[in-house]
Amino acid sequence: MLRTNPAFLHFMEQFTASAPESEAVAIKTFAPNTRLIQQGDTISYVYIIREGITKCYLEEDNGKDYIFEFLGKGEITGELEGIKKEKCLCNIEAITSVTAYAIPHRLFAWLLINNTTFNRLLLEELAVRIRQTCIRTSYQQLYPVEYALLRLLALEAAQDIVIPKKDMAAYLGITIRSFNRTLKELRAKNILDPQGLNIDLSRKQLEEILRRFEEM
Amino acid sequence: MLRTNPAFLHFMEQFTASAPESEAVAIKTFAPNTRLIQQGDTISYVYIIREGITKCYLEEDNGKDYIFEFLGKGEITGELEGIKKEKCLCNIEAITSVTAYAIPHRLFAWLLINNTTFNRLLLEELAVRIRQTCIRTSYQQLYPVEYALLRLLALEAAQDIVIPKKDMAAYLGITIRSFNRTLKELRAKNILDPQGLNIDLSRKQLEEILRRFEEM
DNA sequence: TATAAAACGGGACATTTGTCCCACCCCTTT
DNA sequence: AAAGGGGTGGGACAAATGTCCCGTTTTATA
């Protein structure tokens, strides 16, 4: 759910600390609820998140939003546009306060060609993203919302973060109404079986889930 | 819907024709309904489709299938597993008769490092795939099935291919029953407005859609 | 503190989608 | 020709989800 990429972050720290080319890399700051990237715009930077949490989402013409993923430390964004010069696919909006490395397209292209490590990191990142997306989409299409919601709550607690309710709903592709309803039903049934969710949870995390669950 | 990548195909033709390393590349043939890749398996080849159409899908524990995409000429598959050594995410099954270049992982890794063109082609392919997936997922989650179905029919006709009904349903993430029902409703309403679908259609394609639509 | 404005939860109903099942058609086999 | 099997379309009902709306709570502001 909240993706991170420590290896990428580490690379950027090294790179900005030592490489002469890295002068071009700026560090930008974004306040909560402001956008790093705006859907439809043409941009000239690729960002790598240094600190904070963002949401990556698409706004459809009918006013509905669909959140693809939450991007945290070390995640790259704007890379699709950096690879193929097209308009931005989706919005990247800061949920918490965010700082990010801003890599100009020119440098990005240079890195891809001349820095094997960087190239490799990006390749792996894209591969992971595709894999995760596939798993999630399929899961959400083929299982009842109930399961997906439970799983999402578990992930949220496991990562010890708080995501606004409306964002969770948008992530599941449902309305807040449905979200609330399902939540209520789960509570009524008193079913909370993280064992069946295929997520590793410590005892502490499990308690955390239960606590949040009651309070929501 | 049916993805192709002429540039990738062209590269492979050139490469197998001239490069000495390409000895390792075999051409494999697959009969309709057989699998190039089996979900959960460990493989040692990356495939690039030379001819034919395949479907890339995930089978969930509850017996349902979700089709991510239909891969045709020049599309690569098994690349996620080639980049990160993990078990196969999904099934790749031949719909028509298929021939494909089979690239051993060792050569694949070598190409990524030593052949800038290949590296670039893969990067672009992954980028396109992510983009397309995002667009589609969002569309399917946030619009009524009716729209998605209409759009799918249009795409199918525009590319002049035939996809079995059950595969179309699996692509939309719905049951055949729902598929049939929606189809019937559309026919009853006699609504078929490809203008609103954001797909470029020639007059001939439009007629083709209408024809198929009536016959289904 | 009082009051308006905005966010929130959930009831009631409408719509959409899934499940179950049966009738029909087209094969094949005997 | 008769019987059986597999695939297909759709009716009837159940379940899930969305839409509309209202009363309550929270927040902001004078």
Instruction: Answer yes or no: do B60 and A138 touch at CB < 8 A.
Output: yes
Evaluated on CA atoms A190, A196, A199, A202, the torsion sign reads: positive
User: Nearest CA to CA, how far is A141 from chain B (Å)?
Assistant: 6
Whether pLDDT at A1 is above 90: no
pLDDT at B161: 82
Whether pLDDT at B196 is above 70: no
* Tally of CB atoms within 10 A around B115: 16
The span from the CA of B167 to the CA of B144, in Å, is 19
pLDDT at B197: 47
Task: Flag the least confident range among A208-212, B36-40, B55-59.
Answer: A208-212
Please report which confidence band the pLDDT of residue A100 belongs to, taking 50, 70 and 90 as the band edges.
very high
Given a contact cutoff of 8 angstroms between Cβ atoms, the answer to whether A174 and A66 are in contact is: no
Maximum average pLDDT range among A31-40, A70-79, A186-195: A70-79
pLDDT at B82: 96
Residue A28 CB closer than 7 angstroms to strand D? no
Of all residues in chain A, what percent carry a pLDDT higher than 70? 88
Read off the pLDDT of each residue in B14-26 and give the average, rounded to a whole number.
89
User: Nearest CA to CA, how far is B130 from chain A (Å)?
Assistant: 6
Evaluated on CA atoms A60, A64, A70, A74, the torsion sign reads: positive
Q: Pick left, alpha or beta for residue A42 (phi over 0 → left; psi -120 to 50 → alpha; otherwise beta).
A: beta
CA A47 to chain centre: 13
pLDDT at B213: 63
For residue range B110-157, what is the model confidence (pLDDT) as tens digits?
Answer: 999 999 999 999 999 999 999 999 999 998 988 888 888 888 888 887
Query: What is the widest separation between alpha-carbon atoms in chain A?
Result: 60
CA of A166 to C1' of D23 (A): 21
3-state class (DSSP) for residue B115: coil
Residue A146 CB closer than 7 angstroms to strand D? yes
- According to DSSP, residue A175 is labeled -
The span from the CA of A32 to the CA of A55, in Å, is 11
3-state class (DSSP) for residue B131: helix
The span from the CA of A156 to the CA of A208, in Å, is 10
Looking at strand C, which nucleotides approach a protein CB closer than 7 A?
8-12, 16-21
More confident residue, B41 or B144: B41
CA of B120 to C1' of D13 (A): 55
Closest CA to A117 of A45, A44, A51, A18: A18
- The label of the residue with tokens 């983009």 reads B131
Whether pLDDT at A84 is above 50: yes
H or E segment and range at residue B111:
helix B105-114
User: Nearest CA to CA, how far is B157 from chain A (Å)?
Assistant: 25
- According to DSSP, residue B84 is labeled S
The secondary structure of B176-197, three-state, reads: HHHHHHHHHHHHHHCCCCHHHH
Helix/strand number for chain A, H first, E second: 8, 9
Does B116 reach chain A within 8 Å, measured CB to CB? yes
Label the pairing between strands B26-30 and B76-77. Answer: unpaired
CA of B176 to C1' of D5 (A): 21
Does B66 reach chain A within 8 Å, measured CB to CB? yes
- According to DSSP, residue A194 is labeled G
Please report, as a single letter, which amino acid is at residue B43: I
Instruction: Answer yes or no: do A130 and B128 touch at CB < 8 A.
Output: no
The span from the CA of B173 to the CA of A134, in Å, is 13
Report the nearest residue to nucleotide C19, CA vs C1': B177
Q: What are phi and psi of B62, to 5 degrees?
A: -85, 10
Looking at strand D, which nucleotides approach a protein CB closer than 7 A?
8-12, 16-20
Instruction: Answer yes or no: do A116 and B113 touch at CB < 8 A.
Output: yes
CA angle B164, B170, B175 (to 5 degrees): 100
Please report which confidence band the pLDDT of residue A61 belongs to, taking 50, 70 and 90 as the band edges.
confident
CA B101 to chain centre: 16
- According to DSSP, residue A74 is labeled T
Across the interface, of B66, B129, B131, the residue whose CB is closest to A138 is B66
User: Which residues on chain A are in Cβ contact (under 8 Å) with B130?
Assistant: 80, 126, 129-130, 133
CA A205 to chain centre: 21
The span from the CA of B13 to the CA of A193, in Å, is 53
Residue of chain A minimizing CA distance to B114 = A116
Starting at the edge strand found earlier in the chain, the sheet holding A26-30 runs A26-30, A98-104, A45-51, A76-77
Instruction: Answer yes or no: do A89 and B134 touch at CB < 8 A.
Output: yes
The span from the CA of B32 to the CA of B5, in Å, is 21
Whether pLDDT at B195 is above 50: no
Instruction: Answer yes or no: do B84 and A129 touch at CB < 8 A.
Output: no
Residue A54 CB closer than 7 angstroms to strand D? no
Measured CA to C1', the nucleotide nearest A141 is C17
- The label of the residue with tokens 């079913």 reads A191
Q: Encoding tokens for residue A195?
A: 């064992």
The average confidence (pLDDT) of chain A is 88
Measured CA to C1', the nucleotide nearest A178 is D17
Given a contact cutoff of 8 angstroms between Cβ atoms, the answer to whether B31 and B93 are in contact is: no
The span from the CA of B146 to the CA of A143, in Å, is 21
